[in-house]
Amino acid sequence: MLTWNEVLTIAQNGNPKPPRRVEKTEDEWRSLLSPDEFFVTRQKGTERAFSSEMCSLFQPGLYACRCCETELFDSGEKFESGTGWPSFTQPVDPVVVAYHDDRSYGMHRVETTCNVCDAHLGHVFPDGPPPSGLRYCINALSLKKISTVSS
């Protein structure tokens, strides 16, 4: 289980090797994604809070990267944060999410991206529920709910 201190160390010292790599040109990504999905995942955008029904979706299953379909989060780690974005406490595997220092907009945050295709997912914060205390605040447009039932 990742902790906030481990997330900070990874963000500062480098991410683990991904299980595989998916790389496409900007034009290839544009042809595969809707304009909103492209804005969020490839241009580090943010969707409006409470703009997706995915926030209140808690059925068993997995959430994959919208761009490369890498499994990222399990519904068993999803919780209602009240922030307006889907929130999770842990990724399904520590190597599928990458962490980056983000000092944009006069803030210091930790950006999360898909470690396989570099899609922007959102940010992680140290104000989640126990035992990890992490809150992965993820853009719904970055995710694709897949039907595989969580274990």
Which CATH number is 19's domain given?
2.170.150.20
Please give the residue range of the domain that contains residue 99.
4-146
Confidence bin at 102 (pLDDT 50/70/90): confident
Confidence bin at 148 (pLDDT 50/70/90): low
Regarding beta strands 62-65 and 143-146, do their DSSP bridges make them parallel or antiparallel, or are they unpaired? antiparallel
Domain presence at residue 11 = yes
- Residue 103, token pair as written in the block: 């000092």
Give the H/E segment covering residue 11. helix 4-13
Domain presence at residue 113 = yes
Domain presence at residue 151 = no
The 8-class DSSP code of residue 93 comes to S
Please identify every residue annotated as catalytic.
Answer: 137
- Considering the entire predicted model, what is its pTM? 0.93
Sign of CA dihedral 95, 101, 102, 107: positive
Q: Up-side HSE of residue 72: CA atoms within 13 Å toward CB?
A: 34
pLDDT at 60: 92
Domain presence at residue 47 = yes
What is the percentage of the chain residues whose pLDDT exceeds 90? 89
Whether the CB-CB separation of 61 and 138 falls below 8 Å is answered with no
142-150 average pLDDT score = 79
Domain presence at residue 20 = yes
15-39 pLDDT, tens per residue? 999 999 999 999 999 999 999 999 9
In the chain, how many domains are there?
Answer: 1
Distance in angstroms (rounded) separating the CA atoms of residues 118 and 25: 12
pLDDT at 108: 87
Domain presence at residue 106 = yes
Domain presence at residue 98 = yes
Mean pLDDT across the chain: 94
The one-letter code for the residue type at 129 is: P
The 8-class DSSP code of residue 20 comes to S
Domain presence at residue 134 = yes
